[in-house]
Structure 1
Amino acid sequence: METGFDLDQTVLTLGGRTLALGDVLFIGGAVMALLVLLTLIAVWRSATHQRRDLAAARERAVRAEARVEDILKAQTDLQGRLAAMTDMFGARHSEMSTTLSQRLDAMSSRIGQSISEQQKNAHDNLSKLHERLAVIDTAQTNIQQLAGQVVELQSILSNKQTRGAFGQSRMEAIIEDGLPMGGYRFQTKLSNGSMPDCVIAMPNGAPDLVIDAKFPLEAWNAVREAKDEATETAAAKRFRSDMDVHIKAISEKYLIAGETQDTAFLFVPSESIFADIHEHHEQIVQKAHRARVVIVSPSLLMLSIQVIQALLKDARMREQAHLIQGEVMRLMEDLGRLDDRVRKLQTHFGQTAKDVDDILITTGKLTKRSQKIEGLEFDEKPQAAPDKDAPETGAESETGRLRLRVVDGEPE
């Protein structure tokens, strides 16, 4: 009996279509080949992914190794800088200690020297004090001698001629101190032949001012030395009579129209006498005013001389007005140039102040960063997003990293 497979034998009917055994075997082989092909493709893809993962892992390992090397390098550099800073701080501490010691020694030396000088000065002052006490003793002796000379001066002033010379000398001293040379004349003759004690030239071509220094001191002393009311009344009457005669003589001799001022000065050589005349002898003052004679004391004469001096100065300034105006113009030009230069200097000062502020900001940052370095305090800050077109380096990563940059000693 012969056994075998008939490939044309119908074994399956699908959708009205009959499939022979050979067709079924062919389709099964094709399906098996397809399954094997799909299996091989899956295995190839898995191997490819494994190779890619392995390459990525190797690349990450290389990056990690490079980053560790950078960190170790930065740590070594930081240790070197810390060592240099330690040496620098040690050297500065040593220099500061030496400087402080030298200054303390110098200060101790100066203090000792100052104490010695003070002791010496105290000793010298005591010596000078003894000398001054001796001088005071001598001065006391001189004062006693001066008292005797005052008595002699009183006897001299009792003489009319010497007394007039004393009053005139006070008047001349006041005028010479207050007016320039050529602004006054002493003992000069007028057109009527009279000779006043002083004539002062007035500004702007005005007539001269006459000053007379004569004063009836005998009648005044009699009033002051009167012991009873009758004697005092008689002495006061004599004093008023002498003053009337003297005022009349000044008005008649020294008031010349066109040559002298219409007012003359009667100089009283004492402030106390001047005050007593105005207090107790008002009629004398009124009569002098009516005669155009002004009674002046040393202080009033000095004030009048200062007014005259101001008038003379004003006259000279009027004469030199055009020169003063020119000088003022040049002064204004100089002030303009000075204002421009000051404004330029102000601009420079403003720029300098801004530069100083910037320097202070930089030094503040340096101080803070050095304090962080000294305390090994480092901040982990995320780095800015890298440029998409820039190549990725081995020291950079996608997640954040330890960031420490020291560029030429300037920390950022």
Structure 2
Amino acid sequence: MEPALDLSRPLIPLGDGAITLGQALAGGGILLALGLLALVIAAMRAANHRAMLLEESRRQTAEAEARMAEILKAQSEMQGRMASMAEIFGSRQAELNQSIHQRFDSMTNRLGQSLTEHQKSTHENLSKLQERLVAIDTAQSNIQQLAGQVVELQSILSNKQTRGAFGQGRMEAIVSDGLPPDAYEFQATLTNGNRPDCIIRMPNGAPGLVIDAKFPLEAWNAIRKAEDPAQATEAARQFRRDMDVHIKAISEKYLIAGETQDTAFLFVPSESIFADIHEHHEGIIQKAHKARVVIVSPSLLMLSIQVVQALLKDARMREQAHLIQAEVLRLMEDVTRLDERVRKLQSHFGQAQKDIDDILVSSSKVTRRGQKIESLEFAAEKTTEAPAADKPADKSAESKTGQLRLRVVDPEEE
């Protein structure tokens, strides 16, 4: 047989005393009871917590369902709005597409018109450019021809004989254009055997005017072609010497007393040369004046020719003065005869006017007589409307009618 369990036996020493087995078993039971109680409480708490969680879950589920319903409702509303917006966007897109197509068509038309106008303008500009190019080509060919002519003129002026022919030609053109053929002569021979380029016959038996056209152009060209001041000075000195010799030759050869004028003309075929001589070579002008030689340019020669032409015209008028006087006398006779005929015509017009006035007087008298006859007829109609029983009234009316008739018969009493 097993020994009995001793509950008083010390189990765990504690200080001065010890925990017995009974105390340990009692404490363990209590602890176990407390543990079970704690477990029950924990289970209850867990059940409550689960119930709360379930309730919370249900509540959240309901809220979620409500929210889901709201979301579905909002989604349906959103779908409706999206459908309406899609419809609006579709119509707007159709309108936008139509507007874009219209604008694109308009821009295409404008671009086509612009391209057409630009093409037309370009074609016109090209045509004008072609015309201008043709004109430029023509001008270039003319310039080339002119350059050739200038070269030819330079070659002509480089030769003394051809240069003299050039000056002679210009002088002859000016003289022949301004004077009649009998007023001048080219290359005429003087009594001393010399032959000036031109002699102008002055009116009234006056001596002729000599014109020389041989201007020394070599020295002048040398001045223009000088490359340094020394060459220019030497060329100017040579030009003055040539001019002095030529002026002296004109004075000695062409100034003949009684046959030519006391002054001769030296023709310079260029206005620029004439101006440069007067500006830079005053000594040549003074020597020419002393030698009774006048240097003239084309414009001065034309002015001198016009003066000579006026003198010739005045001389011819003086020569024909008696003829002019006779013509004036005949003209006065014609004027006198015309005056007499005008006076006769005026008298005829006066007589015709008098006859017209008499006719107007007669027509006025006829008009007055017609008016009196018309008033008489009206008076007769009034008398016929009077009553037949009134005999004295009839007699008075008859007497008045007789008086009126007498007045009509004798209208001169008026």
TM-score (norm 2): 0.50
1:391 Cα deviation after fit: 8.6
Distance 1:396 1:209 in 2: 115
**Residues 323 and 228 of structure 1: CA distance in aligned 2, closer, same or farther (over 3 Å):** same
2:137 partner amino acid: D
Q: Supply the AA of the counterpart residue of 1:239.
A: F
> Which amino acid in the other structure matches residue 234 of structure 1?
E
1:144 aligns to 2:144 (yes or no): yes
Shift in CA distance, 342/193, structure 1 to aligned 2, threshold 3 Å: farther
Write out aligned runs for 1:198-237 (5 A).
Answer: 198-237=198-237
Is it true that 1:330 corresponds to 2:326 in the alignment? no
The alpha carbon displacement at 1:246 in A equals 0.4
Tell me, in whole angstroms, the C-alpha distance in 2 between the residues paired with 1:396 and 1:274.
118
Distance 1:237 1:323, change over 3 A: same
Amino acid at match of 1:284: I
CA distance in 2 between counterparts of 1:319 and 1:129 reads 65
Amino acid at match of 1:238: Q
2:176 matches 1:176:
yes
> Matches of 1:298 and 1:195 in 2, distance apart?
21
Where does structure 1 differ by over 6 angstroms across 4 or more consecutive aligned residues?
127-133, 342-345
The letter for the 1-side match of 2:149 is Q
What is aligned with 2:288? 288
Distance 1:211 1:331, change over 3 A: same
Q: C-alpha displacement at 1:181, in angstroms?
A: 1.3
Following superposition, the deviation at residue 247 of structure 1 comes to 0.4
Shift of 1:129: 12
Q: Does 1:195 align with 2:198?
A: no
Instruction: Give 1:393-408 correspondences, 5 Å limit.
Output: 394=383
Per-residue CA distance 1:147-177 (angstroms, 9 max, x = gap): 1331232122111111110000000011111
Structure 2 Cα separation of the partners of residues 396 and 196 of structure 1: 122
Residue 221 of structure 1 deviates from its aligned partner by: 1.2
Counterpart-to-counterpart distance in 2, 1:246 and 1:211: 13
Matches within 5 A, 1:1-16: none
1:339, distance to aligned residue in structure 2 (A): 10
How many Å separate the matches in 2 of 1:142 and 1:245? Answer: 41
What's the CA shift for 1:328?
Answer: 1.9
Give yes or no for the alignment of 1:297 onto 2:283: no
Provide the residue aligned with 1:124 in structure 2.
none
In the TM superposition, residue 300 of structure 1 has moved relative to its aligned partner by 0.8
What is aligned with 2:242? Answer: 242
- Whichever structure has more helix as a proportion of its residues is 2
Q: Deviations over 1:150-209 (max 9, x none)?
A: 123212211111111000000001111111112111112111111111111111111111
What is the Cα deviation at residue 325 of structure 1? Answer: 0.9
- The Cα of 1:140 is off from its aligned counterpart by 2.9
CA distance in structure 2 between the partners assigned to 1:316 and 1:291 by the alignment: 32
1:248 offset after TM fit, Å?
0.3
1:334 CA drift (Å): 4.1
C-alpha displacement at 1:311, in angstroms?
1.0
Amino acid at match of 1:257: A
Number of positions where the alignment pairs a residue of Structure 1 with one of Structure 2 = 236
Q: What is the CA-CA distance between 1:392 and the residue it aligns to?
A: 9.9
Q: How does 1:120-139 map to 2 (within 5 A)?
A: 134=134, 137-139=137-139
Aligned match of 2:112: none
> In 2, distance between residues paired with 1:308 and 1:129?
53
Task: Flag the structure with larger Rg.
Answer: 2
- AA aligned opposite 1:241: R
Name the stretch that deviates more: 159-168 or 132-141. 132-141
Distance 1:216 1:395 in 2: 126
In 2 relative to 1, CA 184–339 (structure 1 residues): closer, same or farther, beyond 3 Å?
farther
Tell me the percent identity: 75
Task: Output the CA distance in 1 between the equivalents of 2:130 and 2:343.
Answer: 59
Residue 247 of structure 1 aligns to a residue whose secondary structure is: helix
DSSP-derived class of the 2:181 partner: coil
Task: Provide closer, same or farther for how the CA distance between residues 151 and 324 of structure 1 changes in structure 2, counting only shifts above 3 A.
Answer: same
Letter of the aligned partner of 1:181 in structure 2? P
Deviations 1:10-56 (A, max 9, x none): xxxxxxxxxxxxxxxxxxxxxxxxxxxxxxxxxxxxxxxxxxxxxxx
Q: Distance in 2 between matches of 1:299 and 1:276?
A: 15
Aligned to 1:119: none
Q: Against the structure 1 CA distance between its residues 261 and 334, is the aligned structure 2 distance closer, same or farther, given a 3 Å change threshold?
A: same
Which residue in 2 is equivalent to 1:161?
A: 161
- In structure 2, relative to structure 1, the CA distance for the partners of 1:325 and 1:239 (3 Å cut) is same
Quick one: which amino acid aligns to residue 158 of structure 1? S
Q: Distance in 2 between matches of 1:187 and 1:256?
A: 16
5+ residue gaps, structure 1, are: 1-126, 356-382, 398-412
Q: 1:293 to 1:334 in 2, by over 3 A?
A: same
Distance 2:217 2:385 in 1: 117
C-alpha distance in structure 1 between counterparts of 2:330 and 2:133, whole Å: 60
Unaligned runs of 5+ in 2: 1-126, 357-371, 387-414
- What is the CA–CA distance in structure 2 between the aligned matches of 1:344 and 1:221, rounded to whole Å? 79
Deviation at 1:340, TM superposition (A): 7.3
2:313 counterpart residue number: 313
Q: 1:246 to 1:338 in 2, by over 3 A?
A: farther
Deviation at 1:226, TM superposition (A): 2.1
Separation in structure 1 between the aligned mates of residue 278 and residue 345 of structure 2, nearest angstrom: 65
Within-5 A mapping of 1:11-160: 134=134, 137-160=137-160
- Opposite residue 320 of structure 2, the aligned amino acid is Q
Cα distance, 1:283 vs structure 2:
1.1
Letter paired with 1:182: D
Cα distance change on mapping 1:329 and 1:151 into 2, 3 Å: same
Distance 1:167 1:391, change over 3 A: same
Once residues 137 and 396 of structure 1 are traced to their aligned partners in structure 2, the CA distance between those partners, rounded to angstroms, is 111
Q: Distance in 2 between matches of 1:335 and 1:169?
A: 51
Question: CA shift at 1:241, angstroms?
Answer: 0.7
